[in-house]
């Protein structure tokens, strides 16, 4: 598995922060706020996998484009970025040595916490 930073998703996340489209939730909220499989499938049906990918900081280029398995480290609910998701990403990425993703999450947290 070769998960790398998804640059399109990082740009999207930064734009969501600039547009104030984020939730300032707490660390443990992501399990409740994360979209379920039904919401993911509905989003993919409406917008496609490319747009789906822009909601995930990780991408495995070895996996097929049109699969959920290509994308990892989700950060939002398809409407807004969630601070709790970024906290979870930072922790999980650091634990699994995805340093570029952990650094991107830290950068996003810094941007979120500037207000």
pLDDT at 115: 60
Q: Is pLDDT at 53 greater than 80 in this prediction?
A: yes
Half-sphere exposure of 63 (CA within 13 A, CB side): 16
Q: Provide φ and ψ at 53, rounded to 5°.
A: -60, -30
Rounded mean pLDDT of the chain? Answer: 95
Q: Provide φ and ψ at 4, rounded to 5°.
A: -125, 170
Whether the CB-CB separation of 5 and 57 falls below 8 Å is answered with yes
A 10 A CB-CB count for 24 gives: 11
Provide mean pLDDT across the span 58-77: 95
Q: Identify the band that residue 2 occupies on the pLDDT scale cut at 50, 70 and 90.
A: confident
Name the percent of the chain lying above pLDDT 90: 88
Q: pTM above 0.75?
A: yes
Half-sphere exposure of 103 (CA within 13 A, CB side): 8
Place of tokens 């650094």: 103
Provide mean pLDDT across the span 100-105: 97
């Amino acid at each position: 598995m070769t998960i790398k930073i998804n640059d399109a998703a990082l740009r999207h996340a930064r734009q969501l922060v600039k547009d104030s489209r984020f939730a300032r939730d707490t660390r443990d909220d992501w399990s409740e706020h994360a979209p379920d499989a039904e919401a993911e499938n509905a989003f993919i049906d409406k917008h496609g996998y490319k747009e789906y990918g822009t909601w995930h900081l990780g991408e495995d280029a070895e996996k097929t484009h049109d699969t959920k398995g290509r994308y990892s480290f989700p950060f939002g609910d398809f409407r807004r970025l969630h601070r709790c998701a970024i906290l979870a990403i930072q922790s999980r990425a650091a634990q699994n040595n995805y340093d570029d993703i952990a650094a991107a999450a830290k950068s996003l947290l810094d941007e979120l916490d500037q207000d």
